[in-house]
Amino acid sequence: MFEKRYLASRFSATLLLLGAVAVAAISAHSYLRMHHPGPDVDRVVPREGFVHKRLSDYFQGLQDTPADTDVYVQEGEQPGGTLLVLGGTHANEPAGVVAAVVLLENADVKRGRLIIAPYANLMARTHTFPQDAHPQTFGFETSGGVRRTFRYGARTTNPVNEWPNPDIYIHPASGQTMAGVERSNLNRAHPGVADGGMTEQLAYGFMQLIKQEDVDLAIDLHEASPEYPVVDALVAHERAMELAAMVTMELEFEGIPIRLEPSPKNLRGLSHREWGDQTDVLAILMETCNASAGRFRGRTGEALVLTGEDKAYDKAAELGRLYVPWESWDKRIAERVGRHVTSVKLLAENLEFVRDDAGIVIEGLPAYTSLSEEGVGAYLRD
Amino acid sequence: MILTWVYWAITVFVIVLVVRSLYREKSLREQFVAAMVLVPLLLRVLFIK
């Protein structure tokens, strides 16, 4: 016979086990919504003229894998250069994603070709980091009153797609050692490995796209925390430095303060380093200021993603811990997206000055001031 | 990919150990801790999170 105490313990164990299963089921429902968010989340409405492709069209190894992602190509009537824009390399950097979508929904290419992958790492869009309290989605209202919703993901690939990470990641192309989690970071996985982990295969797919499409200029859209030294900046491979310097000056003339940073030669796996080293492309990465992914932030939600306003960052600015003039800085996502879109437009326009016959003319893009004043929703389609 | 399934098998094994511990534990507090530990393990073994 069981003692009374043991029976009670067994009963409570069963109750707690059922409780754990119930909590897991509720959590599972919430997490699965990130995997299958429905047709209205992350929806894009490309402007007429874009041809829909998949990254697996360039690297068949990605077909039927969670890494395969949409690629849109628009070709102008006049021949010219080819521009590749990646949004969503890091899914927790929303202005990079939204800027790519704004480009996709507004760009009218008159000369050259524009290739856009708005959600570069789809596997990073199916989860958020534990204990970061990030919202699962954020959104905008269009002029027609339709809410456009986007997932707020994580910096790295979901562990369910690539598990476990090693203690130390050895970057295959260079042998450089990094923290194990970097294996799942698309922006440490370039130039990729055809038979590597899912993130390495994804990076390999983009490298094949660059080679097969003979891309002249490749831009990777990011955001950085206000306490990160490289914020509101263009990071350029040495061959792209002349172009980036011209555009930096033009941005300053337009009243958009921007830094210009050289791509560090000894930091491997990054898009601006590996694309530039392995191919003829001019590789540039762009960063805007994103408090929602910063370590100092306080209450985290959609409002922080959209406004960038945060009391904890106000305090950090008082203490001089930030790399942007916080009090006078416009931190709204409309400004950050405007900064990205304007930079892409200027880089495309100036390309012909550094590369013969590679001019690109894109019309239809919103001006920095229009985006900043009217908001992102005004430039998203219903 | 093989390593993924090795880790999956390890996770299943750990779940069995935690459930066993849940039923063998006499302290309600320790049972509660075991139940909390189970949640992420269940999500991981189902490839949800």
Whichever domain contains A180, its CATH number is: 3.40.630.10
Contact assessment for residue A267 and residue A285, using Cβ atoms and an 8 Å cutoff: no
Contact A6 B42 (CB under 8 A): no
Task: Give contacts of A24 with chain B, Cβ < 8 Å.
Answer: 38-39, 42-43
**A37 within domain boundaries:** no
- Which B residues in the span 10-29 are in contact with A, Cβ-Cβ below 8 Å? 19, 22-23, 25-26, 28
Mutation target to probe the B interface, by most B beta carbons within 10 A, among A16, A21, A23, A162 is A16
Encoded tokens for B19 = 């459930």
Please name the residue that has the structure tokens 């694309």: A275
Encoded tokens for A306 = 């959209």
- DSSP assignments along A66-91, one per residue: TT--EEEEEE-SEEEEEEEEE--SST
Residue A5's pLDDT is what? 55
Residue A4's pLDDT is what? 53
**A76 within domain boundaries:** yes
Find, in chain B, the residue whose alpha carbon is nearest to that of A9.
B26
Residue A328's pLDDT is what? 76
Q: How many CB atoms lie within 10 A of CB B42?
A: 21
Residue A8's pLDDT is what? 62
For residue A134, give its domain range: 46-379
Contact B34 A16 (CB under 8 A): yes
- Which residues from A are below 8 Å from B when comparing CB atoms? 5-6, 9-10, 12-13, 16-17, 19-21, 23-24, 27-28, 31-32, 127, 159-160, 163-164
List the one residue out of A282, A311, A285 whose CA is nearest residue A297: A311
Which pairs from B31-38 meet CB under 8 Å and 24+ separation?
A: B31/A9, B31/A12, B31/A13, B31/A16, B32/A16, B34/A16, B35/A16, B35/A17, B35/A19, B35/A20, B36/A20, B38/A17, B38/A20, B38/A21, B38/A24
B47 touches chain A (CB under 8 A): yes
Mean local confidence (pLDDT), B12-33: 93
User: For chains A and B, what is the number of CB pairs under 8 angstroms?
Assistant: 60
Task: Give contacts of B3 with chain A, Cβ < 8 Å.
Answer: 164
Contact assessment for residue A204 and residue A270, using Cβ atoms and an 8 Å cutoff: no
Residues forming beta bridges with residue A169, ordered by sequence position: A178
Based on the structure, what is the number of domains in chain A?
1
Residue A252's pLDDT is what? 95
Helix H or strand E segment including A337: helix A333-354
**A11 within domain boundaries:** no
Q: Distance, in angstroms, between A66 CA and closest chain B CA?
A: 13
**A152 within domain boundaries:** yes
Q: Distance, in angstroms, between B38 CA and closest chain A CA?
A: 6
| pLDDT tens by residue, chain A, 382 residues | 455 555 568 899 999 999 999 999 999 999 999 999 999 999 999 999 999 999 999 999 999 999 999 999 999 999 999 999 999 999 999 999 999 999 999 999 999 999 999 999 999 999 998 889 999 999 999 999 999 999 999 999 999 899 888 999 999 999 999 999 999 999 999 999 999 999 999 999 999 999 999 999 999 999 999 998 888 999 999 999 999 999 999 999 999 999 999 999 999 999 999 999 999 999 999 999 999 999 999 999 999 999 999 999 999 999 988 888 887 788 899 999 999 999 999 999 999 999 999 999 999 999 999 999 999 999 999 9
Task: Give contacts of B31 with chain A, Cβ < 8 Å.
Answer: 9, 12-13, 16
Task: Give contacts of A5 with chain B, Cβ < 8 Å.
Answer: 26
ipTM of the complex: 0.94
Q: Distance, in angstroms, between B18 CA and closest chain A CA?
A: 10
B48 touches chain A (CB under 8 A): yes
**A9 within domain boundaries:** no
**A4 within domain boundaries:** no
Distance CA A98, CA A258 (A): 20
Residue A1's pLDDT is what? 47
Contact B38 A17 (CB under 8 A): yes
For residue A323, which amino acid is it? Y
Of A9, A27, A164, the CB nearest to B39: A27
Residue A270's pLDDT is what? 97
**A122 within domain boundaries:** yes
Of A24, A160, A163, the CB nearest to B42: A24
**A15 within domain boundaries:** no
Task: Give contacts of A157 with chain B, Cβ < 8 Å.
Answer: none
Mutation target to probe the A interface, by most A beta carbons within 10 A, among B39, B45, B46 is B39
